[in-house]
């Protein structure tokens, strides 16, 4: 057999890795559904000042507890009715999307930076650095998250900034564990060894070689943590230690409707449904990213 015949032939029209990835994304119905729903919620949050028919903070006590339009006493002026202070419920739901998305993204960013830095350091350097980071992770995992958050927020006072900082500083452990394990796998691969041989600096190797190759795992963990942060904020607000009135947080709206749950059930059902849809969309996107990247790794 000649040398020419031994060389494998590559079709000129072979799809690129980017085209293969786009094809997998387009064929994944769950990912497309989650992205569509999440994009819709993000657009609602961005366009809330244009979509909201009323000021979400404007009170009108004589028109309190008007039911939604599909009830017999509903009005077109207030499609989703009004709350116990006469505020338009649709406007508060639209603005509440901003609060939930802000908390999810901010907590994800803070915890992601902390956890990813610790995980990269532990997985790449190993030895004493790994032992120290593992000890810190163990200490964090031994702390009950919700109880610590309740204690800190109760001490410092509930506010949007405090909730974001507390959750961001407490929810980094999953990032650290996953990125540490992924970095340990990447650490022994040939391209990392080649970068070390040519004298590349440690930051260049970590952020140029290792981090891009653990990015799929990072994205999946980020979606899980964003959804978890939104639920935790809702729980804290429900207990009166999260976002404070009059901010239109969905968790706070559920808490304010506790006294009316048997008489005006929609006051709880509407923000509860909105919260469930947002968390569902984020989780479905995370699952879709995991599936698509897993297919890509196996291909």
> What pLDDT does residue 112 have?
93
Round to whole Å and give the CA distance between 66 and 83: 7
C-alpha distances (whole Å) from 136 to each of 20, 114, 139, 143, 298 are: 40, 12, 5, 11, 33
C-alpha distances (whole Å) from 26 to each of 161, 214, 237, 286 are: 38, 23, 38, 15
Round to whole Å and give the CA distance between 61 and 67: 14
> What pLDDT does residue 296 have?
47
32-42+80-298 CATH pick, 3.40.50.720, 3.90.79.10, 1.10.3720.10, 3.30.1360.30:
1.10.3720.10
> What pLDDT does residue 15 have?
62
C-alpha distances (whole Å) from 88 to each of 43, 124, 125 are: 20, 53, 56
> What pLDDT does residue 1 have?
45
> What pLDDT does residue 262 have?
81
User: Domain residue spans in the chain?
Assistant: 32-42+80-298
Per-position b or e across 181-212, b if 16+ CB within 10 A of its CB? ebbeebbeeeebeebeeeeeeeeebbeebbbe
Question: Does residue 210 contact residue 196 with C-beta atoms inside 8 Å?
Answer: no
> What pLDDT does residue 18 have?
60
> What pLDDT does residue 160 have?
86
> What pLDDT does residue 7 have?
54
Q: What is the pLDDT along the chain (299 residues), one digit of tens a residue?
A: 444 455 555 554 556 656 666 676 667 777 888 889 999 999 999 999 999 999 899 888 888 888 898 888 888 888 988 888 889 999 999 999 999 899 999 999 999 999 999 999 999 898 899 999 999 999 998 888 888 888 888 888 778 888 899 999 999 999 999 999 999 988 888 888 888 888 888 888 888 888 888 888 898 899 889 989 988 888 888 887 888 888 888 888 888 888 888 888 888 899 999 999 999 999 888 888 877 876 545 44
């Amino acid at each position: 057999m000649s040398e020419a015949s031994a060389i494998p032939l590559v079709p000129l029209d072979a799809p690129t890795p980017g085209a293969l990835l786009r094809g997998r994304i387009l064929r994944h119905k769950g990912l497309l559904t989650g992205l569509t729903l999440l994009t819709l919620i993000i657009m609602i949050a961005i366009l809330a000042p244009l979509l909201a028919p009323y000021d979400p903070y404007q009170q009108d006590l004589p028109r309190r507890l008007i039911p939604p339009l599909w009830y017999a006493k509903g009005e077109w002026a207030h499609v989703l009715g009004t709350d116990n202070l006469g505020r338009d419920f649709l406007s508060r739901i639209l603005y509440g999307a901003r609060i939930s998305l802000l908390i999810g993204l901010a907590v994800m960013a803070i915890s992601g930076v902390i956890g990813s830095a610790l995980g990269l350091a532990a997985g790449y350097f190993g030895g004493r650095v790994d032992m120290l980071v593992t000890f810190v992770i163990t200490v964090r995992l031994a702390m009950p998250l919700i109880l610590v958050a309740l204690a800190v927020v109760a001490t410092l006072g509930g506010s949007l900034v405090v909730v974001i900082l507390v959750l961001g500083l407490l929810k980094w452990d999953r990032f650290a564990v996953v990125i540490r394990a992924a970095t340990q796998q990447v650490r022994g691969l040939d391209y990392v060894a080649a970068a070390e041989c040519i004298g590349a600096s440690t930051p260049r190797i970590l952020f140029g070689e290792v981090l891009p190759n653990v990015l799929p795992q990072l994205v999946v963990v980020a979606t899980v943590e964003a959804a978890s942060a939104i639920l935790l904020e809702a729980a804290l607000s429900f207990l009166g230690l999260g976002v404070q009135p009059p901010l239109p947080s969905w968790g706070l709206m559920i808490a304010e409707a506790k006294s009316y749950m048997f008489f005006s059930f929609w006051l709880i059902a509407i923000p509860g449904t909105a919260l469930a849809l947002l968390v569902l969309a984020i989780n479905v996107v995370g699952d879709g990213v995991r599936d698509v990247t897993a297919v890509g790794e196996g291909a």
